[in-house]
Amino acid sequence: MSVVPIPPRSPLDRERFEALVAEGYDQVPLVRSVELHGSRPVDLLRALPSGQRFLLESTRVSNEGRYSFVGARPFLTFRARGARCEVNGEPQPGEPLATLRGLLGRWRGVRLPGMPLFCGGAVGFFAYEASHYFESLPRHRNDDLGLPDIALDFVDTFVAVDHLEDRALVVATGRDYEDCLQRVEALERVVRTVASTGLREPAWRLADGQTPDVSWRSNFTQEGYQRAVERVQEYIRAGDTYQVNLSQRLEVEPRLPALELYEALSSISPVHFASYLEVDGFEVVSASPERLVRVEDGRAITRPIAGTRRKGTPEENARFAHELRTSEKERAEHAMLVDLERNDLGRVCAYGSVQVTKLMEIIEYAHVLHIESEVVGRLAPGVAPLDVVAAVFPGGTITGVPKIRTMQLITELEPHARGLYTGSLGYVSFTGELDLNIVIRTMVLKGGRAWVQVGAGIVHDSEPRREYQETLHKARSLLLALSACPVEGTA
């Protein structure tokens, strides 16, 4: 990845643009900066044509969560399911990963100083079932939702929202100056219209109180989930595994359209990896707090989360935080997963470069407390973005230890294929850098239904009833959002 010495956010004139093209870059950005006057990323999203829109948002704004990304109308789409893949809806010969690797290597982008990590590229997801491309694993017998294993939309025109400066960076990338100029000016007009319109009143309201009042149906009974926990513990005693993330899937009839649900969920649970996607007739609404991997300036960064308590009063929170810090079970479980992340990064990082930079910090979210750590390594020469994904996917915090055996047990014990749950969602930039979350605290909406999946890490001394309740604690923010009702008289 190259950073060109140009003053931050200064617009490229034709001469400098074409000089970069002559150097071999075929995704050179033209950038326009627009004051937003408080307009939100979701307001910008509403102004774009529906069908293939995306929003990758930091609703928990900080220096780490400075930027959000909004766009629509990809110039190329990639879909894979099983042994088949399509580009722009056309079946492709050969193996899906080889096709995707070729696509990701087709373009060479440049990031100008002052630009965020995403400079155009592929936006979308790797579903949990994408693990079959990286490891020899059995597919689940019951994949009822039928989602793609991989769905990536390649975008060269988008908006990056700078939350700290309340500005939008309108970006168009390519090698043809006139074409980029036309695209950036057209999108700039949309952004200026939104910024001058004022804030839109919510078309929804949250239910009274802090208890979800929406009914749901699980693919487990409570007794069935607890028996599955006990079965995991039998495998642990037999020496098959040390820990397994076991999940249940809740099905709900939503009261709101997906985009209103996204707004409601973001207001309830602000996080660094909020997401909204429209893909092939279904929608994704996510408030994930967890990163799978970020690649920036040749470094790979993971941030495992494991260990959970519900939020309560300040006094309860202090007690729960103390429990997490002192619990042998929670600390041992977390330490195993940190070691797993170190080993995963070690597959693609230079020898001796992988370090634990943060260990077992207690982080508060809207409805839960988590133990979090950070693991960082310097990528070895020649490592491509897909190599990094293959090394760490899926995240160990939502599979278990050892990873391959626990994934076999997940397929055996859970009633349905996971689909998007515990896959990864985010972007791979034209520059080769990337940022992918772990898909938790997420709902998939399709055919008038919403599906929410939540899990718990099972170890030898887990209490089955308590683990079942932990899954429901994790579902609470999603169920509260699904309890929201439309406001009468709003459009």
At residue 308, the pLDDT reads 72
Residue 73 has pLDDT above 90, yes or no: yes
What number is the average pLDDT over the span 380-392?
A: 95
Mean pLDDT of 215-236: 97
pLDDT of residue 271: 87
Mean pLDDT of 39-62: 90
pLDDT band of 128, cuts 50, 70, 90: very high
Supply the pLDDT for residue 328: 75
- pLDDT single digits (tens) 423-474: 999 999 999 999 999 999 999 999 999 999 999 999 999 999 999 999 999 9
Give the confidence band of 60 by pLDDT, cuts at 50, 70, 90: low
Q: Which residue has the higher pLDDT, 281 or 228?
A: 228
Cα(395)–Cα(344) distance, integer angstroms: 9
Check residue 388 and give its pLDDT: 96
By the 8 A CB rule, do 118 and 139 touch? Answer: no
Q: Can you tell me the mean pLDDT for 142-146? A: 94
pLDDT given for residue 489 in this prediction: 60
Average pLDDT over residues 212-234: 96
CA dihedral 206→212→215→221, nearest 10 degrees, is 150
Q: What's the confidence (pLDDT) of residue 329?
A: 74
131 vs 4: which has the higher pLDDT: 131
d(CA 390, CA 409): 20
Top pLDDT among 358 and 444 is at 444
At 313 the pLDDT is: 78
The answer on pLDDT for 252 being more than 50 is yes
| pLDDT tier, 409 (very low <50, low <70, confident <90, very high otherwise) | very high
pLDDT score recorded for residue 8: 42
Q: What is the pLDDT of residue 445?
A: 97
Model confidence pLDDT, tens digit, residues 271-323: 889 999 999 999 999 999 889 999 999 999 998 877 777 777 777 777 777 76
CA 410 to CA 391: how far, in whole Å? 20
pLDDT at 278 (0 to 100): 97
pLDDT for res 428: 98
H or E stretch including 78?
strand 76-81
Q: Global pTM?
A: 0.91
Secondary structure (DSSP) of 306-338: EEEEE--SHHHHHHHHHHHHH-HHHHHHHHHHH
Is the pLDDT score of 85 beyond 90? yes
Check the CA dihedral 436-56-82-74 and report its sign.
negative
| Nearest-angstrom CA–CA distance, 125 and 165 | 29
Q: How confident is the model at residue 366 (pLDDT cuts 50, 70, 90)?
A: low
**What per-residue confidence (pLDDT) applies to 225?**
98
Would you state the pLDDT for residue 325? 74
Active site residues: 370, 397, 421, 441, 457
Q: Counting Cβ atoms within 10 Å, is residue 402 exposed (0-12), middle (13-18) or buried (19+)?
A: middle
Mean pLDDT taken over the chain: 91
Of 400 and 282, the one with more pLDDT: 282
- Tens-place pLDDT, residues 160-208: 999 999 999 999 999 999 999 999 999 999 999 999 997 788 889 988 7
Between 232 and 210, where is the model more confident?
A: 232
CA distance 411 to 400: 13
Residue 70: pLDDT over 60 = yes
How many degrees, rounded to 5, is the angle at CA 386 between CA 383 and CA 388?
Answer: 60
The CATH superfamily assigned to 205-264+305-416+448-486 is: Anthranilate synthase (3.60.120.10)
CA 277 to chain centre: 11
Question: Model confidence at 4, in pLDDT bands (50, 70, 90)?
Answer: very low
Bond preceding residue 254 cis, omega within 30 of 0: no
How does residue 385 score in pLDDT terms, banded at 50, 70 and 90?
very high
- CA atoms within 13 Å, Cβ hemisphere of 49: 5
In this prediction, residue 207 carries a pLDDT of: 80
Q: Does residue 123 sit in helix, strand or coil?
A: strand
Residue with tokens 């057209």: 186
Residues 6 or more apart whose CB falls under 8 angstroms from that of 104 comprise 122, 384, 385, 386, 428
Q: Which of 154-158, 207-211, 382-386, 477-481 has the lowest mean pLDDT?
A: 207-211
- Number of residues that make up the chain: 491
> What pLDDT, on a 0 to 100 scale, did the predictor assign at position 5?
43
CA–CA separation, 147 and 283 (whole Å): 11
Mean pLDDT of the 119-136 span: 96
Q: Residue 61: what pLDDT?
A: 64
pLDDT for position 7: 42
Distance CA 259, CA 322 (A): 38
